[in-house]
């Protein structure tokens, strides 16, 4: 069992990841070597948008795997975050891709060049 301080550190790390990466997928495995079918489908849909995105392998980060569902109020993985907001899991990602909503969302969130401060 983690103590409160460790939990706070994990929460801070998660928030930092979400804030620093405009497009972030929490998944099992990596986009090139996913460890579950849902993570595979979600990362394929994102890769098909042709924009870079960040990912966190929750299997390598059990503390994040334990705490992110509490922060997100979303129990399962993968989880797609765009510009600090939870978009959803595999079903939502695939539905958005099929309806042509995913690509413009990702394109708008992940510009080619970083914005000037």
Annotated binding site for glutathione: 28, 65, 77, 90-91
What lies within 8 Å, CB to CB, of 61 at 6+ separation is none
pLDDT value of position 2: 59
Annotated binding site for [2Fe-2S] cluster: 36
pLDDT band at residue 110 using 50, 70 and 90 as cut-offs: confident
pLDDT value of position 113: 47
pLDDT band at residue 35 using 50, 70 and 90 as cut-offs: very high
Indicate the SS3 state at residue 35: coil
pLDDT at 116 over 60: no
Asked if omega into 78 is within 30° of 0 (cis), the reply is: yes
Q: What is the mean pLDDT of residues 33-43?
A: 97
Annotated binding site: 28, 36, 65, 77, 90-91
- Using one digit for the tens of pLDDT, what is the confidence trace for 51-106? 999 999 999 999 999 999 999 999 999 999 999 999 999 999 999 999 999 999 99
pLDDT value of position 60: 97
pLDDT value of position 112: 64
pLDDT band at residue 15 using 50, 70 and 90 as cut-offs: very high
CATH of 4-109, one of 3.30.56.10, 3.40.30.10, 3.40.190.10, 3.40.309.10: 3.40.30.10
CA distances 36 to 1, 16, 83, 104, Å, are 26, 25, 25, 26
């Amino acid at each position: 069992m983690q103590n409160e301080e460790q939990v706070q550190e994990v929460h801070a790390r998660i928030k930092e990841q979400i804030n620093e990466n405009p497009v972030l997928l929490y998944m099992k495995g990596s986009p090139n070597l996913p460890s579950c079918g849902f993570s595979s489908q979600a990362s394929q849909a994102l890769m098909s948008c042709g924009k870079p995105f960040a990912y966190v392998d929750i299997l390598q980060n059990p503390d994040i795997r334990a705490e992110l569902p509490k922060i997100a109020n979303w129990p399962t993985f993968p989880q797609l975050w765009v510009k600090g907001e939870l978009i959803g899991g595999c079903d939502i990602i695939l539905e958005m891709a099929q309806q042509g909503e995913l690509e413009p969302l990702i394109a708008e969130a992940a510009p080619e060049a970083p914005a000037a401060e």
